[in-house]
A and B are shown apart, each in its own frame.
Chain A
Amino acid sequence: MSKCRIPLGPFHPLLEEAEFFNIKVEGEKVVDIEMETGWMHRGHEKISETRTFTQSIFLVERICGICSTSHPFACVNAIEDIDNVEIPERAKYIRVLIGELERIHSHLLWVGLAGHFIGYDTLWMWAWKYREPILQLSEKITGNRNHYAMMRVGGVGRDFDNSLIPEINPVLDMLEKKMVMLAGAVNDDPVLKSRLKGVGILTKEDAINYCANGPTARASGYDIDVRRDDPTAYEVVDVKVIVTQNGDVFDKAVVRVLEIIESCHIIKQCLKAFEKVQGPIINKVKEISPGEGIGRYEAPRGEVFHYIRSDGTNRPVRHKVRAPSFSNIPTYKASCIGIPLADALITLASVDPCYCCTERSLKVFDTKGRRLEESLLKLSREKTKKIRKNFYADGVSPLERIFEL
């Protein structure tokens, strides 16, 4: 059978964001897969060096639209790590509440998208219907459906209104019931099972070798969760880590659905605590001393890692971000080779890749120091030149002529 190359992206209905996969197939069987990044790079790390610490928190919130509180969470953890800042207990509960609400809506978003990718549009719409009340709760608690802007160095920016507790509880009960129903429906549907079970298996060994984290690793039986292993706010609640053993797409879905239920339990613990725990929500931090700090947080997709170095001024000298998808996406190499194209695509989607989180600056040099990939900037300059040549007789625009004079 002849080999052929299927370009998946940079713009493709399977990918919500710009990303390029180069899939080589024999007939319908995938034999090789390559990934190209660099379509979404926005330079957050560099911008962060020109902002104050407080501004940086809001900046990193814009890295991702879905897990928008996980980057600020890790960022404040890193800044607090420099000076070992303690945060008040009520602030810890509020941070956990926001983080878990976000986890629920992010996982529901994935369940819906996964349904869409396998052509099950009804599942898509139903999952997103149950996501809506969660977004409305977020709006009531923080003022925004997304981009909550709650995290501050030393605490949170806005207190939780205890009168909202009776409104939140019924929503969580409803969601828990619906998730149990969804898990049952997925378990009973033979067509869905034939589509997901045993597809795109990532073994525990591969998960460890590729440094997978988050639900992707936990579905393969790799018991890893920052919320339990290295808690910065989560020590106030009980976290049960969901682990399954098979590592296929079905298990990745099951892990996420069970995590939604677990998140509901964690939020309920927080709501109980809010009635007892009163007091300040922020320890004012006047200045950051020189030093370096790291912050970790379990985002819906896995571990977010922030590194910040300070020289005693009000700006970070270096701000490094590592998103979970950065190590989850290469697991394709282990799980996608040798399976049919239709399965490969849902396997690509099953790690819940977030490309705008992943895309940091990436340069590849060969041994002689030459840059291997063509710079996008260079290409765009060449294109502009070509267009100009067609438009203006001497290839110089009137605007340029004015500036030259």
Chain B
Amino acid sequence: MIFKYLFYLLIFPGFLFVSVFGMIVGWVDRKVSARVQFRVGPPFFQNFYDIFKLWGKEVILVKNSPYFIFVIAPIIAFASVLITSTLVGTAFFFNLGIGGDLIFIIYLMIIYSVALILGASSTGNIYSSIGAGREMKLLLSDELAFILVILVPIIHAGYKIDLIQILDYQQVNGMIIGSASGIIAFIVGIICLQAKMAMVPFDIPEAETEIIEGTLIEYSGPLLAFWKLSHFMMYVFMPLLLVILFWGGISFASIGSIIAGVLKYLLIVVIMILIKNTNPRVRIDTAIIFFWKYASPLALIAVILAILGA
């Protein structure tokens, strides 16, 4: 039994699968972006080279700063991302729940952001402090919309907070995205993912030309590799979560249904990449206004529609 869980956590769909697949999707992101911008783009193994090279580099610590928080933050963030991706992955591939539900997943995703804020603010660097402040504001702005989005499938499935039960509900009653509330929540959800993954237009915490990678500026070597790897792993489980919640997951009944499941995932990834490449970075106040004035009320409307049964 314990070996089975370890297999889930470390090999499939946990660490090994998600990190390797995440780096491949990260390459897709870079390649598609490059083609949109008339560039050639990196070779297939570029992300692997980057991560392995970072592992071999030395870690530079900031003098007179709390080392402990600085070092532990990326590891906590990585662990939370790893557990989230295992939970999402087992539900997606094996239709199995291993004791986690949506509240647990929401908590783990917040832990990632909190670890990022702690790690960045522990250094005392002015750029990373600004980055941490911006990350905090971004977290406060997108969290409400994201929770409201997640509420929609929960209400549809009869107030069940387990991923498996939401999947079961969709197998019987059709996909949630087919309903009016589902499609609204799905669109807001993609925008929330963009903010959670700190991709343009919401890459405000690490704006390169303003605050020089902000939150990550003092990180180097294996610690930076942890952050990068966590980010690559988000490419995998964030879109998968949306597929599970709104689009009925994947079925391994026939080759056609497997391809359909993969295409659903890829479509979300491509939409995210296109949003990233056709928008400038917004200001942090614009982002807060956007989420609190437009995205969250829209998600609330979806929730009300879901309660009314639409």
Instruction: Give A residues with C-beta under 8 Å from B.
Output: 4-7, 12-14, 28, 115-126, 129, 191-192, 194-195, 340-343, 345
| Interface residues as binary, B188-213 with A (CB distance below 8 Å gives 1, 0 otherwise) | 00000000000011011001111010
B284 to chain A: which residues have CB within 8 Å? Answer: 28, 340, 342
Whether B280 pairs with A345 at a CB distance below 8 angstroms is: no
Q: A14-B210, A341-B210, A342-B284 are in contact. Are A121 and B277 (CB under 8 A)?
A: yes
Given contacts A5-B126, A125-B38, A191-B280, 9 further A-B contacts (CB under 8 A): A13-B209, A14-B209, A28-B285, A119-B281, A121-B37, A122-B278, A191-B282, A195-B281, A342-B284
How distant is the Cα of A12 from the Cα of B283 in the complex, in angstroms? 20
Q: A6-B126, A191-B201 are in contact. Are A13 and B212 (CB under 8 A)?
A: yes
Shortest distance from the beta carbon of A131 to any chain B beta carbon, whole Å: 12
Q: Is B130 an interface residue (CB 8 A)?
A: yes
Whether B209 pairs with A194 at a CB distance below 8 angstroms is: no
User: Which chain B residue shows the least CB distance to A132?
Assistant: B38
How distant is the Cα of A195 from the Cα of B286 in the complex, in angstroms? 9
User: Which chain B residue shows the least CB distance to A124?
Assistant: B37
Whether A116 pairs with B282 at a CB distance below 8 angstroms is: no
Whether A192 pairs with B280 at a CB distance below 8 angstroms is: yes
Whether A342 pairs with B283 at a CB distance below 8 angstroms is: yes
User: Which chain B residue shows the least CB distance to A114?
Assistant: B280
User: Which chain B residue shows the least CB distance to A14?
Assistant: B209
Whether B126 pairs with A119 at a CB distance below 8 angstroms is: no
How distant is the Cα of A119 from the Cα of B201 in the complex, in angstroms? 8
Shortest distance from the beta carbon of B190 to any chain A beta carbon, whole Å: 16
* Top 8 A-B residue pairs of the complex, sorted by shortest distance between their CB atoms: A119-B281, A125-B37, A120-B280, A118-B280, A342-B283, A117-B209, A122-B277, A13-B209
- Which of the four size classes fits the interface of chain B? 20 to 34
How distant is the Cα of A191 from the Cα of B277 in the complex, in angstroms? 13
Contact of B130 among A6, A123, A194 (CB under 8 A): A6
Whether A342 pairs with B279 at a CB distance below 8 angstroms is: no
27 pairs from A and B in contact (CB 8 Å cutoff):
A4-B129, A5-B126, A6-B130, A7-B126, A13-B208, A13-B212, A14-B209, A118-B209, A118-B280, A119-B281, A120-B279, A121-B33, A121-B37, A122-B37, A122-B277, A125-B37, A126-B38, A129-B38, A191-B279, A191-B282, A195-B281, A195-B282, A195-B286, A341-B210, A342-B207, A342-B210, A342-B284
Q: Is B36 an interface residue (CB 8 A)?
A: yes
Q: A119-B200, A119-B203, A122-B277 are in contact. Are A340 and B37 (CB under 8 A)?
A: no
User: Which chain B residue shows the least CB distance to A12?
Assistant: B212
Contact of B280 among A12, A13, A119 (CB under 8 A): A119
How distant is the Cα of A126 from the Cα of B37 in the complex, in angstroms? 6
How distant is the Cα of A7 from the Cα of B211 in the complex, in angstroms? 10
A116 to chain B: which residues have CB within 8 Å? Answer: 209
Shortest distance from the beta carbon of A27 to any chain B beta carbon, whole Å: 8
A125 to chain B: which residues have CB within 8 Å? Answer: 37-39
How distant is the Cα of A342 from the Cα of B201 in the complex, in angstroms? 13
A118 to chain B: which residues have CB within 8 Å? Answer: 209, 280-281
How distant is the Cα of A251 from the Cα of B299 in the complex, in angstroms? 36
Shortest distance from the beta carbon of B88 to any chain A beta carbon, whole Å: 29
A195 to chain B: which residues have CB within 8 Å? Answer: 280-283, 286
Shortest distance from the beta carbon of A164 to any chain B beta carbon, whole Å: 26
Contact of B283 among A6, A123, A340 (CB under 8 A): A340
Shortest distance from the beta carbon of B67 to any chain A beta carbon, whole Å: 23
B282 to chain A: which residues have CB within 8 Å? Answer: 191, 194-195
Q: A5-B126, A13-B212, A14-B209 are in contact. Are A122 and B283 (CB under 8 A)?
A: no
User: Which chain B residue shows the least CB distance to A4?
Assistant: B126
A194 to chain B: which residues have CB within 8 Å? Answer: 282, 286
User: Which chain B residue shows the least CB distance to A345?
Assistant: B210
User: Which chain A residue shows the least CB distance to B201?
Assistant: A191
How distant is the Cα of A376 from the Cα of B231 in the complex, in angstroms? 43
Shortest distance from the beta carbon of A60 to any chain B beta carbon, whole Å: 31
